[in-house]
Structure 1
Amino acid sequence: MDDSVLNLSSPGVRSVSEQVYEHLVRAIVEGALPPNQVLSDRALAHQLDVSRTPIREAFHQLESVGLVKRRSRIGWVVTDFTRRDVEELIELRCVLEAAGIRQLVHWSDSRLHELCALFDGFEQPFDSETTAEYLSRDRELHITIVNATGNSRIKEVYRYVELQIDRVRHFISYRAQSRVAESLEEHREITRALARRDASAAVAALDAHLLNVQHKFVDLLDAVSAAAAERR
């Protein structure tokens, strides 16, 4: 891994362990630390010029959100994500976000208009900067949908899986640029239905979008696995 990925900034108001955690989250979500990567607290402490204590604290935080796990005789490793993992994530999101959409259609005109304008202004082709901005708005829309439920338990469940969802977003978007354009149109279909206050159409568009995410992930995972098999 490139040392610059974990270039620790000045602490400021955040603790060192919080900064380490945030850097490791970004590295895992964006793929700089790939699945099954072994993590050494000693090596990371050297890279970041910190003691091993905040590194270990960060590992435990990462474990709590499902991004790393401890393996006997190996130590801490970045978790893998499989076809079944994504299928379960998609199934969960369909349930949670449908509940939010049913509340969103009752928002005021001004709030709904602002939300539905999230994907205005994007033009193709997408470069890396535009893709990053698009993924940020993608995340914003789905978090807003979940928060609209007003249900603290639904929001808590979503917070747990949110980083795993981000990993899938990045895995797909930076490996299949054509998928970004398709995803943009799917999100616009969701927001068009919301603008009409048509909850049924918005839920249907959401389900179609998430199913496409699942299918694209499976296709890419198969391609990555095939390429790895050829190298062996």
Structure 2
Amino acid sequence: MVIQKISLQRESLGEIAYRHLFEAFLNDALIPGTRLLMDDLAEQMGISRTPIREALQRLEREGVIEAHGRRGYVVRETTAEELNQQYQARSAIERFAMEQLTIDGDAGPRLRAMLDELTARPQETADQVFRANRDFHRGVLEMLDNELLEEMFDLVWNRGLTSGIWAKLARDEDCVEKFYADHLALIESIESGDIETAHVAGLAHINAGRAMYEI
């Protein structure tokens, strides 16, 4: 297991450690069952245990890892039931956002501009694919200006870090084209002005995401 050493920046060390671990989960460098020891991680990243502890405690709160022994954690295995719950929660949050924007009636141009910007980003690694997809759905939600919903969104999306699905998507040669087409369909359903159309499109998108997992 190799975790990139950290160089000092203005960003807090705890946040940087969290981000490095986050990327390791997405790229399958840390898979379910892997033990994470604070001392080992601190040595690999070249920092003290305090920011490592902060990062690990945050990941534990998000359900990605769980405590295992003294000063240690283990990467959790995501069960089929947990994935079902994750996607049910996504459906509730994201379809509500689509409903509100459909009622609003003028979100189309902003959504299309956001999709164009995200599609122009590189999507060659699992981290890049994850962030493009998450940023689109979070961008939709941010248009409601509801911080509590945004916090719920972040918690739900981070539950799927250890599934391996994002690395799989990054290997798909048509990844960018599919990303654009899938999310354009959501925008068009919002632009239709019909709540039922938006609900159906949102549910189909969520169900397609859940179907990609092998459990």
Q: Hey, what's the Cα distance between the residues in 1 that align with 2:65 and 2:90?
A: 22
When the two structures are aligned, how many residues end up with a matched partner?
Answer: 212
- State the TM-score, normalizing by the size of structure 2: 0.81
Deviations 1:3-54 (A, max 9, x none): 4xx2312232x22222212211221233221122111212111111112222
Q: 1:184 Cα shift? A: 4.0
Match of 1:202 among 198, 201, 211: 198
2 CA distance for matches of 1:69 and 1:166? 14
Q: Taking structure 1 as reference, are residues 108 and 200 closer, same or farther at Cα in structure 2, changes over 3 Å only?
A: closer
Among all aligned residue pairs of Structure 1 and Structure 2, give the percentage whose two residues are the same amino acid.
25
Partner of 1:71: 68
Matches within 5 A, 1:55-204: 55-72=52-69, 75-107=72-104, 109=106, 111-120=107-116, 128=124, 135-165=130-160, 170-174=166-170, 181-182=177-178, 184-204=180-200
Q: Which runs of 5+ in 1 are unaligned?
A: 222-232
In 2, Cα distance between equivalents of 1:136 and 1:40: 27
Deviates more, 1:178-187 or 1:29-38: 178-187
Residues in 1 aligned to 2:69 and 2:123: alpha-carbon distance in whole angstroms = 42
| Contact 1:38–1:75, Cα closer than 8 Å, also in 2 | yes
2:5 alignment counterpart: 7
Report Cα offsets for 1:185-219 as digits up to 9, x if no partner: 3322111112223332122111111111111112x
Q: Are the equivalent residues in 1 in contact too, given 2:30–2:75 (CA < 8 A)?
A: yes
Counterpart of 2:140, as a letter, is I
Bigger Rg, which one: 1
Q: Distance in 2 between matches of 1:202 and 1:117?
A: 19
- Report the TM-score when normalising by structure 1: 0.76
* CA shift in 2, pair 1:46/1:137, >3 Å: closer
The answer to whether the Cα contact below 8 Å between 1:173 and 1:180 also exists between their aligned partners in 2 is no
- CA distance in structure 2 between the partners assigned to 1:186 and 1:136 by the alignment: 15
Matches of 1:79 and 1:44 in 2, distance apart? 17
Local SS of the residue matching 1:77:
strand
Show structure 2 runs of 5+ residues with no match: none
